[in-house]
Amino acid sequence: MSMDDKLAFRNQVSRALTLPLPYAERLKHGKDIRPIPAAVLVLLGWMTSVDHGGAHGGAIEPAVLITRRTEFVETHKGQMAFPGGVIEPEDENSIAAALRETMEEVGVAAAALEVLGTLPSLFTLTGYTIVPAVGILKSPVESFPLKVSQDEIAETFWVPLSLFSKPGIYKKEELSAGQKSYPIHVYQVHGQRIWGATGAILKNLLDRLAQLG
């Protein structure tokens, strides 16, 4: 992939973030609930594709960083997630919180990436309102080793965006909450189940990119 292609993709993501595309119907917090503000970073990067035999095929393609949380964290133990966490009083805004958490969890500093914008915020059943920031790593994935927090992150995966459109990867399920049911978006990747807020955020971003072709 040429520099022009990479720039075109970066611009496509930036445009995609401006589209008026809400999430599929999501849970809404009641008036008696004060959701906890949180932020995550959907970190994109450029990686060399791998063929079925495990060899690098030479093609460069965009990928997204997914982490698996440890069993030591307070919430969402063992789940697949984007780097992120609660917005702290010292954070200037949600993007600053997402960048701080990304540095703490996987060792990616703000200077190593470009923030392209944000996706709509969403409320979770566990009582959080999450703002997803979207950024892109300046260096190739292979040349940027992650420095993982052993207390928070069990595994990391760079997943090519093209994988999410392959047969058998995605399915929509229903989540019952009270007397209502809500659609949830589920991706099976690397033997792991991506769902919940992470699945919803990922689906929204992929749908935006698909709208732009």
pLDDT at 32: 63
Dump pLDDT digits (tens) for 72-81: 656 555 689 9
Query: By C-alpha distance, which of 142, 133, 129, 127 is closest to 114?
Result: 133
Could you tell me the fold of the domain covering 3-212? Nucleoside Triphosphate Pyrophosphohydrolase (3.90.79)
Angle at 106 between CA 197 and CA 160, to 5 degrees: 60
Of 144, 124, 148, 120, whose CA–CA distance to 133 is shortest?
Answer: 120
Letter for the amino acid at 194? I
Residues forming beta bridges with residue 170, ordered by sequence position: 187
Q: Closest Cα to residue 13, out of 211, 177, 154?
A: 211
User: Mean pLDDT throughout 28-47?
Assistant: 85
Task: For 41-96, write each residue's pLDDT tens digit.
Answer: 999 999 987 654 555 556 899 999 999 988 665 655 568 999 999 999 999 999 99
Kindly write down the DSSP assignment for every residue of 84-106, as one continuous string.
EEEPPTT-SSHHHHHHHHHHHHH
Residues 6+ positions from 78 with CB-CB distance below 8 Å: 68, 69, 70, 71, 154
- Quote the pLDDT of residue 57: 59
* Average pLDDT over all residues of the chain: 89
Helix (H), strand (E) at residue 12: helix 3-16
Q: Region 13-37: what's the mean pLDDT?
A: 81
pLDDT beyond 90 at 195: yes
